[in-house]
Copies of this chain bind each other. A is one copy, B any other.
Amino acid sequence: MLNLKNRRFRGGVVLLSGGMDSAVTASVAKIECENLFFLHIDYGQRTEKKERECFLNLCRHFEVVNSLILKLNHFKIFGGSSLVDRNMEVEKGNLNRSDIPTSYVPFRNGNFLSIATSVAEVLSYDAIYIGAVSEDSSGYPDCKPEFYEAFKKAIELGTKPETHIEIITPVINLRKSEIVRLGVELKTPFEYTWSCYKNEDVACGECDSCLLRLKAFKEAGVKDPLPYKVEGGF
């Protein structure tokens, strides 16, 4: 499915939320990078406690020495997203909508890439991994391939002349079911991932993120190890 070239990077900073896409992305990075730095960002999202637990389990699973959990205050201060603003409701999922859902966190991935660039430049690493998914997703603008191409150019121009950093998005053009299959192939521990936007104990099964995940596992014919409150018709 993916043409994985062993060890093509000196070092990779992996943005790891603890969701299924970032966990599969980490499996790819583990193959491609000599050194790894796992970076988890606590930006005030509702399910951070659960995501952090997944992140730490994934650090242990991948035997990663260099890792950081970084707390950012500004997304919660700025608001404007149901993932950080407790006064906004996490909408019931709708995979057929064309507008951008309220769970969009303004320019979140731009912030994450900037932080990853700073640490990559300090460590002389040459890759940043991010598990963005474009078509088969909620339609966030900061998950599209052209955004990553533009950001890579900004990195190239905004860092030292000797710094060259690739942004690697291994799952961006895959369907969600293909991401599940790739994860199975790479032995990604899906039991250490979390996707629900809303709950931390039993996944709601109704938010966009749950719907996408349930559909993905169903289409892939793989059993999702997570517990769901309802399974949204899948």
Contact = CB atoms under 8 A, between A and B. Distances in A.
- Which of A109, A121, A146, A158 has the most B CB atoms < 10 Å from its CB? A158
B74 A115 contact: yes
A55 interface: no
A106 B110 contact: no
Given A70-B73, A106-B118, A150 B153 contact: yes
B157 A154 contact: no
Given A68-B77, A70-B74, A158-B141, A107 B117 contact: yes
A70 to B, nearest CB: 5
A53 to B, nearest CB: 21
A121 B80 contact: yes
A110 B153 CA distance: 12
Nearest to A144: B157
A187 to B, nearest CB: 31
Q: How many copies does the complex hold?
A: 2
Contact of A141 (B75, B147, B161): B161
Contacts of A60: none
A155 B68 CA distance: 26
A163 to B, nearest CB: 8
A177 B73 CA distance: 37
Interface string A68-93: 10111111011110000000000000
17 contacts: A72-B72, A78-B118, A106-B117, A106-B118, A107-B114, A107-B155, A107-B158, A111-B114, A111-B118, A113-B114, A144-B158, A146-B157, A147-B154, A150-B154, A150-B157, A151-B154, A151-B158
Q: Can you list the 7 inter-chain pairs with the closest CB atoms, starting with the nearest?
A: A80-B122, A106-B121, A150-B154, A142-B158, A111-B114, A147-B158, A147-B157
Given A105-B118, A111-B118, 8 more contacts: A78-B122, A104-B160, A106-B121, A107-B117, A107-B118, A142-B159, A147-B158, A150-B158
